[in-house]
Chain A
Amino acid sequence: MIRRTLRMSGTLLTMLVIFGPLSSLVIWSVAEKWYWPHLFPQQLGFFYWAKVLQGDMLRALRDGFLIAIVVTVLTLLITVPLAYVLARLPIPFKPVILMVFLLPQAFPQLPVFVNSTTLLYRVNLGGKFWGVVLIHMVGALVFAVWTMTAVFKSVPETLEEAAINLGASRFKSFYSVSLPLATPGIIASTLLVFLYSLDEFTGTLLVGSPFVLTLPVYMYRTSVGYELQVASISALLLMVPGVVLLVLLERYMKSEYLSMFGRI
């Protein structure tokens, strides 16, 4: 009995810790008038939701999604073959290649991206859609290469050898044996790349501002400008894709896939 009560209170405490900070966002998003120090707003309503859904935010939302889609497709196209090669073939300089794809995880991003921005402006991509896509791809590639290599490694090599023994070419054995078996892992990793791009802040702020606006940057601007309702609505919208993915994919997500998300 005591044990069950303790367990229940533990779960409740966790809920308070996790949802407590987030709940103020919900309240602020529907607060039309809220004078301090009242516990609840004096006037509730969806005035700001209506306002937000016809302004700049929609543009930021649309651009952010567009960028995320392009980043995801490009990353997927160039990472799948590389991950397969890294997982299967004894290519030269493999440790060096792996190291290059780890560096961005191990060092602070901002001071590097400051100089990446200069490089992008030099080729006239600063403040442009494609500049933001490229800067997102740095992080996305690092994440995708590592997770997808792990996925291909988890497909038993013997299956492919069997196909090759039966006369299939390297490409055929990749295309009709390994690729289908790796598909679930690739899908999980792809969805996380999409989410990464959607949530990316530092690179977008440096490379895109003030011309390319995504939702995180928009939210930052409104929050710092004390448009608390607008910022809270954007924050809630930013949480939706992540939470949906979490609920859908919880069982498939291995910890290696997720450690990247300590950074965004």
Chain B
Amino acid sequence: MRLSLRLACLVIALPPLAIVVWLFFLPFLSSAHLSLIREDQWSLRNYYLVWRLYKFDILYTLWIAFFSLAAVLGIAVFLCGYLRVHVNRPVEFLFKIPLFIPFVVVGHAMRVLLAPKGTLNAVLSQVGLINMSDPPSIAFGWIGIAVSLIWKNLALAVLLVLGAYRSVDETFLEAARNFGASTFRQIKDILLPMSRASLAVAGAFMFTSMLASFSVPLMIGSGEPPQMVMIDVFYRINYQMDYGTANALGVVSYLLAMGVAGYYLKTITQKEA
């Protein structure tokens, strides 16, 4: 390339790069740095505190993320298979709606729906399914968080999985149908194996997003342990001003996301290169 063109490219690339490097890349590195400093000295005490105070919260977070991911993928694989074989536009459209509803709103809606005196219990008590003097609390616990994450992520999963299924050539399905394959067999033996790679990317993406979910547990969490890791980070900073431990916990969350993140980054950049 000519020098002037090179310079023009540099000028063009600089401002957006500067913003992302300044406000994401550097802070990302500085969490690793700060996590190793306690009372102005290098130390591993922050990690010790994370282990002592938050090991169950880490497990709790992983449990919610794995459970929700399994549920979302389990539903999406078959629902999308059905939608791929028998087209149903209204259902497809309906599943796009949650994409456009931010997590905070989902959190609030689920809080109103699932709280002990929420709408769901009010409906159930009308039919006499629950005991009104001691209503069950689905919100304020892991199920409430999982339900919200599943509801929101299902839309994304349907979008991505259906996209992957659509790129499977129709002739494969026709051939299978000619041999009398049911919808289930078409999903299990053709659609699913042929879109495994896209499914893995979608799964990786959703797993990190669930691991990192903040507004949903903030809205419907109980405020008592166990908490999801992001809430711990937030509270550690807001109430204790303890940046060391908060950052150590942050680094742990990066490591949890790392395996999937690495895979995700590799596939996406390979596709682009």
Q: Are A21 and B24 within 8 A (Cβ)?
A: no
Contact A239-B219, Cβ < 8 Å, known A115-B27, A255-B159, A262-B209: no
Q: Are B110 and A21 within 8 A (Cβ)?
A: yes
Q: Are B24 and A138 within 8 A (Cβ)?
A: yes
Q: Are A119 and B22 within 8 A (Cβ)?
A: yes
Residues of B within 8 A of A201 (CB): 102-104, 214-215
Q: Are B100 and A111 within 8 A (Cβ)?
A: no
A residues 14-60 in Cβ contact with B at 8 Å:
14-15, 17-18, 20-25, 27-28, 36-39
In the assembled complex, the Cα of A235 lies from the Cα of B110 at a distance in Å of 12
Q: Are A262 and B152 within 8 A (Cβ)?
A: yes
Q: Are B105 and A239 within 8 A (Cβ)?
A: yes
B residues 215-273 in Cβ contact with A at 8 Å:
215, 218-219, 230, 233-234, 237, 243, 246-247, 249-251, 253-254, 257, 260-261, 264-265, 268-269, 272-273
Bitwise, B95-114 to A at CB < 8 A (1) or not (0) is: 11111111111111111110
B126 located at the interface, meaning its Cβ lies under 8 Å from any Cβ of chain A in the complex: yes
In the assembled complex, the Cα of A53 lies from the Cα of B227 at a distance in Å of 35
Contact A116-B97, Cβ < 8 Å, known A81-B12, A108-B250, A259-B156: no
Bitwise, B70-108 to A at CB < 8 A (1) or not (0) is: 000000000000000010101101111111111111111
Contact of A259 among B1, B205, B237 (CB under 8 A): B205
Binds A, one of B28-36, B40-48, B184-192: B28-36
- Looking at A138, A142, A232, A239, the one whose CB has the most chain B CB atoms below 10 A away is A138
Q: In the assembled complex, how far is the CB of residue A122 from the closest CB belonging to chain B, in whole angstroms?
A: 11
Residues of B within 8 A of A134 (CB): 19, 23
Residues of B within 8 A of A81 (CB): 12
What is the interface residue range for chain B against chain A? 35 or more
26 A–B pairs (Cβ distance < 8 Å), ordered by A:
A14-B94, A18-B98, A37-B117, A37-B135, A78-B12, A91-B1, A100-B20, A103-B24, A105-B205, A106-B208, A106-B260, A108-B208, A108-B257, A109-B214, A116-B27, A118-B27, A135-B23, A137-B23, A170-B5, A202-B215, A235-B104, A235-B109, A246-B96, A258-B159, A259-B159, A262-B152
Closest 7 CB pairs of A and B: A111-B250, A242-B100, A108-B212, A115-B27, A106-B261, A199-B102, A262-B156
